[in-house]
Amino acid sequence: MITQSSTDNQQERVPKDRESLNYYLAGFVDGEGSFSVTIHQVYQHKDNSRILFLFKETLKCGYVSEKGGNPSCYVYCVDRKSDLLSIIIPFFDKYPLVGDKYKNFLLFKEIVLRFSRQEHLTKDGFIEMAKLCYKMNRNGYFRKRSLVEIISALEQSSETTRQTPPTAGMI
């Protein structure tokens, strides 16, 4: 009878060869990770944080830290645009997710690519990217503001800018 704890046993099962490890990490993200706009994150209880450091070591980017407000949870995070474009996206293109998160990854990839082309700097580009964002992760179910609120605030801001008279003495 095996008496090891499940986390001890899990550490022993981590693949040793690089190719198998990459598939293992992709599968782990499929079950435990998330893609949010311009960030790739994987959460894990502090007792199993070794897997997060394995991501950092394998992908050679990102950082591991405590999740804000929850000291028993750690997060592996990649938020540099250059790392997302040159490491994270190619990794998941080569080692694709097989669950529902694959759709989120495709949207995430499209948003990061548009961001890199600076499409967010125009009002129409920003709105299109916001629409893509709200298709991710259960159609924005957990977001604080609805897509309608975001677009409405943008429209109001644009209208205010158009109606504001120039300041006297501006050069």
pLDDT for res 9 = 47
Residue 168 belongs to a domain: no
More confident residue, 52 or 38: 52
Amino acid at 1: M
What is the pTM assigned to this prediction? 0.74
pLDDT of residue 33: 82
Give the pLDDT confidence of 122-139 residue by residue, as tens digits.
989 999 998 998 888 776
The domain in which residue 39 lies consists of 1-101
> Are residues 25 and 67 located together in one domain of the fold?
yes
Confidence of residue 90 (pLDDT cuts 50, 70, 90): very high
- Give 3's pLDDT tier (boundaries 50, 70, 90): very low
Residue 54 lies in a domain: yes
Residue 146: which residues within 8 A CB-CB, separation 6 or more?
Answer: 140
Residue 44, classified by CB atoms within 10 Å of its CB into exposed (0-12), middle (13-18) or buried (19+), is buried
What is the rounded distance in angstroms from the CA atom of residue 145 to the CA atom of residue 106?
23
Q: What is the pLDDT of residues 94-110, one digit of tens each?
A: 999 988 889 989 999 99
The reply to whether 38 falls in a domain is yes
- Do 28 and 93 belong together in one domain? yes
Look at residue 89 in the predicted model and tell me its pLDDT. 95
164 pLDDT band (50/70/90 cuts)? low
Residue pair 66/74 in contact by the 8 Å Cβ criterion: yes
Assigned domain for 169 exists: no
| Choice among 32-36, 80-84, 132-136 with the minimum mean pLDDT | 32-36
Question: What's the domain count of the chain?
Answer: 2
3-state secondary structure of 65: strand
Residue 114 in this model has a pLDDT that exceeds 70: yes
Q: Identify whether 122 is part of a domain.
A: yes
Residues 128 and 59 in one domain: no
Tell me which residue has tokens 């007792």.
47
72 and 123 in a single domain? The answer is: no
Please give the pLDDT value at position 67.
85
96, 123: one domain: no
pLDDT of residue 165: 58
- Give the domain-ending residue among 53, 73, 101: 101
In a domain, 35, yes or no: yes
3 state DSSP class of 70: strand
Task: Tell me, yes or no, whether 43 lies in a domain.
Answer: yes
Residues 38 and 96 in one domain: yes
Q: Are 21 and 93 contained in the same domain?
A: yes
- Let me know whether 122 and 70 are in one domain: no
